[in-house]
Amino acid sequence: MGKPMAKNLLKAGFPLVVYDIRPEVVNELVAAGAQAGSSARDVAARSDVVITMLPNSPEVKEAVLGANGVIEGVRADAIVVDMSSIAPATSREVSAQLAARGVRMLDAPVSGGEPKAIDGTLAIMVGGPRDAFDEVKGILEKMGSSVTHVGGIGSGNITKLANQMIVALNIAAVSEALVMATKAGVEPERVYKAIRGGLAGSTVLDAKAPMMLSRNFKPGFRIELHIKDLINATDTARELGAPAPLSAEVLKFFQQLQAQGKGKEDHGGLVQYYESLASVEVRR
């Protein structure tokens, strides 16, 4: 996700200093016009705005608060924008440590997966100080077609978790419906075309049903990453005392697929869980 997002910033004319634990990624971005940083600390020391994009909470804490991390190099007048999808509590923890050094932070997770990261059409949901948001909004708009301030620090990731719960349940519903239609002997593609214009129509339906029908599980967003998000979502819901029984069930379905070696497939591959129970295969 971070690499195509960085490329869109370069295309927009922003000077970038980049760092990644994988040298080949840095080299590709340097070839596109970026400067190479030697560490997260080095990037922070050379930047007015520091953007991080990482898999989960532990990686964010290591990159920002760890040895040679952002906090060791960042200037007091800089803004840190973490665009990772992580636990809201981690966003608040990291923000508090940066604030002690006079640094403002935004949590700004995204939705849309790698395809929209490449196109620069991500939905970006942002939590943190409004003044910091106003200062970096023009940067974020080069990576996303929708950039929304949703509240204080951590609220960006609360919003992302809500998004991931809805997406997961939609994929599960599409899977259930198409497997039932197939089991009944009705062509699933015709079912999809018949319902997409009605109340059951959705962005998820239009994105995932064609992939299911063509047996294309090349990842736009991997099952293993959706598992991470649903774990964060159900943990957060439990901490808040909010019910999330459906999300907890779909999490189990994803985890069963991961146990079968399918964790790196697209989350639309959830249909395979239902197919295995029904002994049918959804296809054109």
- pLDDT category of residue 172 using cuts at 50, 70 and 90: very high
Q: Give CA–CA dist 167/150, Å, rounded.
A: 19
Q: Over 90: is that where the pLDDT of 135 sits?
A: yes
Candidates 160, 208, 228, 262; catalytic one? 160
Tell me the residue type at 57: S
CA separation (Å) from 79 to 16, 54, 118, 150, 226? 15, 17, 24, 18, 28
Q: Give CA–CA dist 110/225, Å, rounded.
A: 13
pLDDT tens digits, one per residue of 97-129: 999 999 999 999 999 888 899 999 999 999 999
| CB-based contact 222:267 (threshold 8 Å) | yes
Q: Give CA–CA dist 199/158, Å, rounded.
A: 27
Lowest mean pLDDT segment, chosen from 85-89, 104-108, 111-115, 241-245: 111-115
User: Taking the CA of residue 256 as centre, how many other CA atoms within 13 Å lie in the half-sphere pointing to its CB?
Assistant: 15
The pLDDT score that the predictor gives to residue 144 is 98
Structural domain spans, the chain = 2-152, 159-278
Same CATH topology for 2-152 and 159-278: the answer is no
Question: Quick one: 159-278 is in which CATH superfamily?
Answer: N-(1-d-carboxylethyl)-l-norvaline Dehydrogenase; domain 2 (1.10.1040.10)
User: Strand pairing partners for 80?
Assistant: 50, 105
Active site residue 183: no
pLDDT tens digits, one per residue of 16-30: 999 999 999 999 999
Q: Over 90: is that where the pLDDT of 223 sits?
A: yes
- pLDDT category of residue 152 using cuts at 50, 70 and 90: very high
The pLDDT score that the predictor gives to residue 220 is 87
| CB-based contact 80:100 (threshold 8 Å) | no
- pLDDT category of residue 222 using cuts at 50, 70 and 90: very high
Percent residues over pLDDT 90 in the chain: 98
Q: Give CA–CA dist 47/78, Å, rounded.
A: 7
pLDDT tens digits, one per residue of 27-66: 999 999 999 999 999 999 999 999 999 999 999 999 999 9
The pLDDT score that the predictor gives to residue 113 is 85
The pLDDT score that the predictor gives to residue 80 is 98
According to CATH, the topology of domain 2-152 is Rossmann fold (3.40.50)
Closest Cα partner for 116 from 268, 5, 228, 267? 5
> How is residue 272 written in tokens?
């395979």
Q: Over 90: is that where the pLDDT of 169 sits?
A: yes
Q: Over 90: is that where the pLDDT of 148 sits?
A: yes
> How is residue 85 written in tokens?
């999808």
| CB-based contact 233:161 (threshold 8 Å) | yes
Q: Over 90: is that where the pLDDT of 8 sits?
A: yes
**Helices H / strands E in the chain, number of each:** 14, 8
